[in-house]
Structure 1
Amino acid sequence: MPNIDLSLEELKKYKGISPNPLDMDKFWQESIQELKKTEEEIKISSSDFQTPICNCYDLTFKGIDGEKIYVKMLLPKEIKDSVPAVVEFHGYGGNSGDWTKRLAYPSSGIAYFGMDCRDQMGNSGENYLRSGNLIRGVLDGPKNLYYRKVYLDSVRLLDIVFKMDQIDKNRVATMGYSQGAALSLVGASLDNRVSKVFAIYPYLCDFKRVWNLDLGEFAYQELRDLFRWYDPLHKREKEIFETLGYIDVKNFVKNLKSEVTMVTGLMDKVCPPSTQFSVYNAIHSQKHHLIYPDFGHENINGLEDILYQWALKIK
């Protein structure tokens, strides 16, 4: 079998090498308390896009810094009792996609929410950047990290969903690919009410391992850019990786209560398999790992059907 990383036997034991800050839990507890003190300013309106299959809404709220965050909300046509919900987060540099992409969920009696991450290519924020977000704020300490804000956006969205009368509080799930998988896992780690998670080749894991392997492409290229432009002698290397530890997914998942399904392609050169296994091996809740030996960071044959069948079981 082709191999770009550790053997499968070694992967199943790998715990990760990136730092886990000693005050990790305290930092995020304080961050959530800070979030709760800020205004949500939730607004929901009918979208210009409508379909006979479901009701489509534009939902916006404000993040911890007052940034407006946009969410596609699709609800079943007639809700007599509360319904399950899936909250999806998109991949790095993208957006929530077309409305038609997720019509299967509301047509099957499942509410659907798709968040545009701030300052990427959706309707959240103002800058619409494709890259550079991983390292934004890293030289200024953990409170200034871009992903601290995005993680808190995911927490706020989940809280909004849980407060909705139409939603069954016992049947709320998160899902996503890459960056979206990271947000799905972190959101559920910070809000233990989430019942299930489907995380497909998660990004933002075990940064030091990515650096050591020199396998990171695309989004992880920013780590190299950071050192080349701002720390060419690596005088701040230890500090930088310690700061990134505050947003490292593997450092969150010990708190998960959700049932987790994770997907890893063993040929993934964007998010190396060992970085993903560092997350999976740290999860203590019920979990399942779908391992694809011949796939990398790409569309996987049949996976969307598996994802849909998983969502049906939220019911």
Structure 2
Amino acid sequence: MKLKFKFSILFALLFYSYLSAQPREELVKVIVTPNHNDWTYEIGEQAEFSMTALRNNIPIEGIEIKYTIQPDPGYRFITIWDEGSLNLKKGSTKVKAKKFNEAGFLRCTATVEVSGNEYSSYATVGFSPDKIEPTTTLPKDFEEFWKKGKEDLGKVAINPVLTLMPERCTDKVDVYHVQLDNVQGKIYGVLCKPKKEGKYPAILHVPGAGVRPYYGEVSEAEEGFISFTIGIHGIPVNLDQTVYDNLRQGALNQYFTTNLDDKDNAYYKRVYLGCVRAVDFIESLENFDGKNLGVTGGSQGGALSIITASLDSRISYLAAFYPALSDMTGFLHGRAGGWPQLFTDEYTNKPEKIETSKYYDVVNFARFVKVPGWYSWGYNDNVCPPASMYAAYNVINAEKELHVFQETQHWTFPEQREMKDSWLFEKLRK
């Protein structure tokens, strides 16, 4: 059983690496470099980009390099400002962009063809990103809507069912599969807690987008934390991978648009309230210290971290990587909206769906965050475009710190995660 579990863990790690889109090595490397070290300019400045192609880390000379310059498009298409081709006479060349006269992001993409294969890369620069304002608006009944949602949740008993998972336990940590009652159906997760008697701070892990199993954070429990990792889809999180694959391709395909024209039955209503239910469960644990509770996640999980901290005053700290679901109406205003990058087609671009999105947009939850937060993302993220994340971050009035790793796309360096853990662990241990 232990050997089987180790193979399951290995598969999960490989699957996670695929989902997080870590950069892969290529024979030819294209490097695009802006002329400001921090990739950041003031409104009205003119960015200049250097473009280089390397093979075996040696500049390639005498080939053509094509470029496009455009406002940050996410993974959708936005009108190209400028495009052309230049010769890499000495292995490198430069191109200047037009002046950017508003707060936002501009991307330069460079492409070369070598031996019949295309290689490309890009750099996205920011212009006064601290001045980016949201495009979404706050519904007048936003607070009342979520107050009622929490009241409805409060009428549902937690009814926790804990099942010990001996194959995942260690000499220091007990691991349980957990089932809880939610406003609609169930919520499931994996609880890891120290075996040693005592009172411990807790960390709630909220998930990125997708449909998958979860394994819990045993290492955190070994560090002296109660760690609870949840799924959002109302299905057990310890099933065979094929179950999740089938659901992802079938019933849960494009789940994030389900009932998007109905604020009372939109898919994420149960999800957001399920995060509050997870806090209810942590609060009920005898070995929780009763006061130090953090929430963390990336992408959809970054969004849920902000949302949970906004909805639930029992959260002490939040740590979020590249929060999705932020300023989702961006594309309606000429800039990239946050994942899942809606309102670009006839199916989603409808008044009722746009209005419903405002009740689920991270920006509107960020307005009410009151606890200290740690945030990190990159300018090159084309899944959660940086303008969408700044739109949310800039309205947060609580204590906050942002760590930008400019070149990262929708992934993180190990150092980022180490920074996050160090910050969150230190805060929770105070």
Normalising by structure 1, we get a TM-score of 0.87
Partner of 2:228: 113
Structure 1 counterpart of 2:352, from 221, 229, 239:
239
The structure number with the bigger radius of gyration is: 2
Q: Which amino acid aligns with 1:290?
A: H
2:314 is the counterpart of 1:196: no
Structure 2 CA distance for partners of 1:210 and 1:121, relative to 1, 3 Å: farther
Q: Distance in 2 between matches of 1:164 and 1:120?
A: 22
Structure 2 CA distance for partners of 1:185 and 1:291, relative to 1, 3 Å: same
2:207 is the counterpart of 1:90: yes
Q: What is the CA distance between 1:213 and its match in structure 2? A: 5.2
1:216/1:270 contact within 8 Å kept: no
1:90/1:176 contact within 8 Å kept: yes
Q: Which amino acid aligns with 1:134?
A: F
Structure 2 counterpart of 1:24, from 142, 146, 150:
142
Task: Give the 3-state SS of the residue equivalent to 1:307 in structure 2.
Answer: helix
Which stretches in structure 2 are left out of the alignment for 5+ residues? Answer: 1-33, 40-70, 73-103, 106-124
1:72/1:96 contact within 8 Å kept: no
Q: What is the CA distance between 1:119 and its match in structure 2? A: 5.8
Partner of 1:166: 287
Structure 2 counterpart of 1:276, from 365, 389, 393:
389
Q: What is the CA distance between 1:121 and its match in structure 2? A: 9.2
Q: Distance in 2 between matches of 1:196 and 1:213?
A: 34
The more displaced of 120-129 and 106-115 is 120-129
Structure 2 CA distance for partners of 1:76 and 1:199, relative to 1, 3 Å: same
Q: Distance in 2 between matches of 1:304 and 1:184?
A: 15
Task: Give the 3-state SS of the residue equivalent to 2:303 in structure 1.
Answer: helix
- Cα deviations across residues 47-84 of structure 1 (Å, max 9, x unaligned)? 1422223111111101101x12111000012032x111
2:257 is the counterpart of 1:135: yes
Structure 2 CA distance for partners of 1:123 and 1:186, relative to 1, 3 Å: farther
1:26-41 map, 5 Å: 26-41=144-159
- Which one scores higher on RCO, CA 8 angstroms, separation ≥ 6? 1
2:316 is the counterpart of 1:208: no
Partner of 2:422: 309
Q: Which amino acid aligns with 1:23?
A: D
Q: Distance in 2 between matches of 1:121 and 1:33?
A: 25
1:178/1:200 contact within 8 Å kept: yes
Spell out structure 1 runs of 4+ moving beyond 4 A: 123-127, 210-217, 221-224
Kindly report the root-mean-square deviation, in angstroms, between the aligned alpha carbons of the 2 structures: 2.5
Task: Give the 3-state SS of the residue equivalent to 1:28 in structure 2.
Answer: helix
Q: Distance in 2 between matches of 1:306 and 1:216?
A: 27
Q: Distance in 2 between matches of 1:52 and 1:216?
A: 46
Task: Give the 3-state SS of the residue equivalent to 2:340 in structure 1.
Answer: helix
1:253/1:279 contact within 8 Å kept: yes
1:212-231 map, 5 Å: 212=333, 215=336, 220=340, 223-224=343-344, 227-228=345-346, 230=347
Partner of 1:79: 197
The more displaced of 90-99 and 166-175 is 90-99
Normalising by structure 2, we get a TM-score of 0.65
Of Structure 1 and Structure 2, which has the larger fraction of its residues in strand? Answer: 2
Q: Distance in 1 between matches of 2:342 and 2:328?
A: 11
Q: What is the CA distance between 1:305 and its match in structure 2? A: 1.4
Q: Distance in 2 between matches of 1:136 and 1:18?
A: 20
1:105/1:111 contact within 8 Å kept: yes
Task: Give the 3-state SS of the residue equivalent to 1:170 in structure 2.
Answer: strand
- Cα deviations across residues 214-272 of structure 1 (Å, max 9, x unaligned)? 7569x525654xx43x46xx5xx333211100000110122212110111211111111
Residue identity over aligned pairs, in percent, reads 25
2:180 is the counterpart of 1:61: yes
Structure 2 CA distance for partners of 1:56 and 1:290, relative to 1, 3 Å: same
Structure 2 CA distance for partners of 1:240 and 1:93, relative to 1, 3 Å: same
Q: What is the CA distance between 1:9 and its match in structure 2? A: 4.5
1:96/1:114 contact within 8 Å kept: no
1:1-20 map, 5 Å: 1=34, 4=72, 5-6=104-105, 8-20=126-138
1:69/1:118 contact within 8 Å kept: yes
Of Structure 1 and Structure 2, which has the larger fraction of its residues in helix? Answer: 1
Which stretches in structure 1 are left out of the alignment for 5+ residues? Answer: none
Structure 2 CA distance for partners of 1:211 and 1:220, relative to 1, 3 Å: farther
2:259/2:266 contact within 8 Å kept: yes
Q: Which amino acid aligns with 2:171?
A: P
Q: Distance in 2 between matches of 1:96 and 1:260?
A: 27
2:328/2:341 contact within 8 Å kept: no
Q: Distance in 1 between matches of 2:156 and 2:335?
A: 40
Q: Which amino acid aligns with 1:220?
A: P
